[in-house]
Amino acid sequence: MALMTGDEKHGPAATSTLDALWVLYDRVLRVDPERLDDPERDRFLLSKGHGPMAYYAVLAAKGFLPVEWLPGFGSYDSPLGHHPDRVLVPGAEIGSGSLGHGLPIAVGTALGLRAQGRPGPAVWVLIGDAELDEGSNHEAIAFAGPAGLDRLHTIVIDNSSASHARPGGIAARFEAAGWSAETVDGRNHEALHAAFTAPHPGRPRVVVARVEPKNAPAPVQT
Amino acid sequence: MDTMRERFAPVVSRLLDEDPRVAVVLAEIGRDRFAEAERRHPDRVVNVGIREQLLIGAGAGLALTGMRPVLHTFASFLVERPFEQVKLDLGHQDVGAVLVSAAASFDWPAGGYTHMAPGDVALLDTLDGWTVHVPGHPDEAETLLRHAVGAGGAKDDKVYVRLSVQANRRALAVDGQRFLTVREGRRGVVVAVGPMLDAVLAATEGLDVTVLYATTVRPFDGAALRRATGAAGTDVVLVEPYLAGTSTAAANDALADVPHRVLGLGVGRPELRRYGQIEEHVTAHGLDAPSLRTRIAGFLKPRAGA
């Protein structure tokens, strides 16, 4: 991640997602850089496109893109922008940046896989707690629960960046729509893995990954 | 005669039967007409409720998995309300969909301005790569819907089909691409778009003008317009059933290297704040045959010294 400079404003946004992304790509997702178009692959949609340095770093570590691309981050000739573009980044399922687009697209992805008789692939979308301000998310949340989209998974990285929020409000919002919900320590890899892999038959799943507040110093990673 | 909207559900229901890639996403509006199709294809007829951002976003997700989504609601809620989803979830994600709207510019005048979308085509003009069909008859709507969805043809482009209860008395043989030449003259070219044809033909009766009929307005058939100006001269009138002047830039581009004049007629920009009947709104916007005749003849009359 240190190879990517120029978007320090979104440094907290980037580091907040790192542990969840790593656990997901290292231990959960069934994706393969050699088979980017495999219809049976899991889909990971980064909705919170702000501060994508952690995402690019994980994609590079897992062989989706060359590490040599990272230093060019944000430059005219680089495929790696301050918001990712699926057309330019191998392994990126969607382009994002404008908030609140990933979860509705993930709903459609789950519907499309269901309509094609593909129960195997899981659909994952990562959003931020402040991103939940966008009403489009609530259209998707309210639909996905009653629709029983049990291959749909949402990770909410909660670094307390929403200006108006109540403690516990995020999980409660999803639960009210019929989702399976769990809130975990977003820096604890075992807790994240357990939450990511817990069964949730018949219901979509949300994992709220709580990390240090946006404006607090990040813990030293070991 | 049925309406274009009444034709929509049976046509698309057949396409659902023909091609497993086709999926329909609705936001409550029009749902009843798809009840039978929903029973046959419960995973490919999806009603998301009154959620238009999700309507477009879910359509994009379906397309990302290889499906051919058909998304439908009133024009104001299909193009205007979720415009950023149209721009990003389809355009920026580089996936296609078929957007089919109803209600058009003022199909339901008693519903007022909230249900009017005269700016839909102009709004799509800010984006790249959209095909826009404006059928003028239910039979043309059927042809253009089939063309747009492209069942069995692995189509994945971005298409807007604008259905209206306004219609011409008879259908022409439209092909989803080209303007048709309906009448030939020597003193100007009038392009009638979709449901405007009957009024334009009545308005130009006895005038020595060429009348082109456009049901696919994007891409704009500039070649047909240029050909027509060869014999009829380069005075051009566009008569569109949506915002006046929407295609003026396209006509200008087609004639960029020759001196020309373009008059763009259509729905006026000011909010009318009237209810009533369709015919009353047609007249208020100067789109009835007598008004059109006055405005077209006035524009085409020989200039002093000419």
CATH code for the domain in which residue B14 is found? 3.40.50.970
Shared-domain flag, residues B189 and B157: no
Query: Backbone phi, then psi, for B114, in 5-degree steps?
Result: -65, -25
B301 Cβ under 8 Å from any chain A Cβ: no
Q: Which domain holds residue A195?
A: 14-33+97-210
Residue B171 within a domain:
no
Chain A residue numbers touching B64 (CB-CB < 8 A)? 43, 93-94, 105, 108-109, 112
Which of B51, B64, B89 faces A139 most closely, judged by CB atoms?
B51
pLDDT single digits (tens) B91-106: 999 999 999 999 999 9
Residue B138's domain comprises: 4-162
**Which residue among B162, B190, B223 closes a domain?**
B162
Same domain, B29 and B55: yes
Co-location of B110 and B214 in the same domain = no
Q: Chain B residues with CB inside 8 Å of A111's CB?
A: 23, 43, 46, 58, 61-62
Read off the CATH number of the domain in which B294 is found: 3.40.50.920
Mean pLDDT of B138-149: 98
B110 near A CB under 8 A: no
What is the mean pLDDT of the segment spanning A72-97?
A: 97
| CA–CA distance, B95 with B100 (Å, rounded to integer) | 16
Average pLDDT, chain B: 97
Q: In terms of pTM, does the model score above 0.90? A: yes
B95, B130, B162: which is the final residue of a domain?
B162
Q: Which ranges of chain A would DSSP assign to H, the alpha helix?
A: 11-23, 53-61, 102-115, 135-147, 169-176, 189-197
- Considering the domain boundaries, does residue A82 fall inside one? no
Instruction: Give me the pLDDT at residue A59, please.
Output: 98
Asked if pLDDT for residue A53 goes beyond 80, the answer is: yes
- Would residue A83 count as lying in a domain? no
Residue A222 in any domain: the answer is: no
Same domain, B252 and B113: no
Say what percent of chain A tops pLDDT 70.
96
Query: Looking at chain B, which residue has its C-alpha nearest residue A145?
Result: B48
> Would you call B48 and A143 a contact, using CB atoms and an 8 Å cutoff?
yes
Amino acid symbol at A183: T
C-alpha dihedral, A199 to A203 to A209 to A215, nearest 10°: 180
Per-residue pLDDT at B305 exceeds 80: no
A200 within domain boundaries: yes
Q: How near does any CA of chain A get to the CA of B93, in Å? A: 6
Average the pLDDT over B213-225 and give the result.
98
In this structure, the answer to whether residues B9 and B152 fall within a common structural domain is yes
B195 upstream amide cis, omega within 30 of 0: no
Does residue B241 lie within any of the structural domains? yes
Q: Does B40 touch chain A (CB under 8 A)?
A: no
* Residue A125 belongs to domain with CATH number: 3.40.50.970
Has residue A40 been placed in a domain? no
- B259 SS3 class: coil
- As for how many domains chain B has, the answer is 2
Residue A56 lies in a domain: no
Q: Is residue B174 part of a domain?
A: no
What pLDDT digit, counting tens, does each position of B251-294 carry? 999 999 999 999 999 999 999 999 999 999 999 999 999 999 99
- Of B127, B162, B197, the one marking the end of a domain is B162
Are B295 and B199 contained in the same domain?
Answer: yes
- How close is the nearest chain B Cα to the Cα of A106, in Å? 6
A136 → closest Cβ in B20, B44, B57: B57
Give per-residue pLDDT as tens, A18-42. 999 999 999 999 999 999 999 999 9
Tens digit of each residue's pLDDT (9 = 90 or more) over B125-135: 999 999 999 99
Q: What is the mean pLDDT of residues A186-201?
A: 98
My answer on whether B146 and B263 are in the same domain is: no
Q: Provide the domain count of chain A.
A: 1
Q: What does the CA dihedral B50, B53, B54, B59 come to, rounded to 10 degrees?
A: 120
Q: Is 50 exceeded by the pLDDT of residue B306?
A: no
Pick from B231, B249, B214, B234: nearest CA to B299: B234
Phi, psi of A210 (to 5 degrees): -85, 130
Q: How would you class B42 by CB atoms within 10 Å of its CB: exposed for 0-12, middle for 13-18, buried for 19 or more?
A: exposed
My answer on whether B40 and B117 are in the same domain is: yes
Structural domain contains residue A76:
no
Per-residue pLDDT tens digits for A5-18: 888 777 777 789 99
In a domain? residue B97: yes
- Can you state the percent helix, strand and coil of chain B, rounding each to 5? 40, 20, 40
Same domain? For B197 and B271 the reply is yes
Same domain, B108 and B213: no
Q: Do B69 and A108 touch (CB under 8 A)?
A: yes
Q: How many A-B residue pairs are in contact by the CB < 8 A criterion?
A: 103
Determine, yes or no, domain membership for B306: no
- Contacts with A107 (C-beta within 8 Å, 6 or more apart), sequence order: A140, A143, A144, A147, A149, A152, B54, B57, B58, B61
pLDDT at residue A65 is higher than 70: yes
Are B61 and A140 inside 8 Å of each other by CB? no
Same domain, B10 and B90: yes
* A131-136 mean pLDDT: 98
User: Mind telling me how many Å the CA of B38 is from chain A's nearest CA?
Assistant: 12
Over residues B186-206, the pLDDT tens digits come to 999 999 999 999 999 999 999
ipTM of the complex: 0.96
Residue A217, pLDDT score: 61
Tell me the average pLDDT across B130-142: 98
Nearest CA in chain B to A143: B48
Cα-based distances in Å from A141 to A102, A196, B61:
12, 18, 15
Write the pLDDT tens digit of every residue in B6-62: 999 999 999 999 999 999 999 999 999 999 999 999 999 999 999 999 999 999 999
Query: Under DSSP, is residue A24 helix (H, G, I), strand (E, B) or coil?
Result: helix
Residue from A58, A74, A67 nearest A9 by CA: A74
Smallest CA–CA distance, residue B88 to chain A, in Å, is: 8
Looking at the structure, tell me whether residues B134 and B224 fall in a common domain. no
What average pLDDT does the structure give for chain A?
94
User: By CA distance, what is A146's nearest residue in B?
Assistant: B48
- Which percentage of chain B shows pLDDT scores above 90? 96
Q: Taking a C-beta distance cutoff of 8 angstroms, is the pair B228, B189 a contact?
A: yes
Whether B106 is in a domain gets the answer yes
Q: Is B45 an interface residue toward A (CB < 8 Å)?
A: no
- Residue B180 is inside which H or E element, if any? strand B180-183
In terms of pLDDT, which residue wins out, A6 or A140? Answer: A140
Contacts of residues A67-75 at CB distance under 8 Å and 24 or more positions apart, as own/partner, are A67/A3, A70/A3, A70/A4, A71/A3, A71/A4, A73/A3, A73/A4, A73/A5, A73/A6, A73/A7, A74/A4, A74/A6, A74/A7
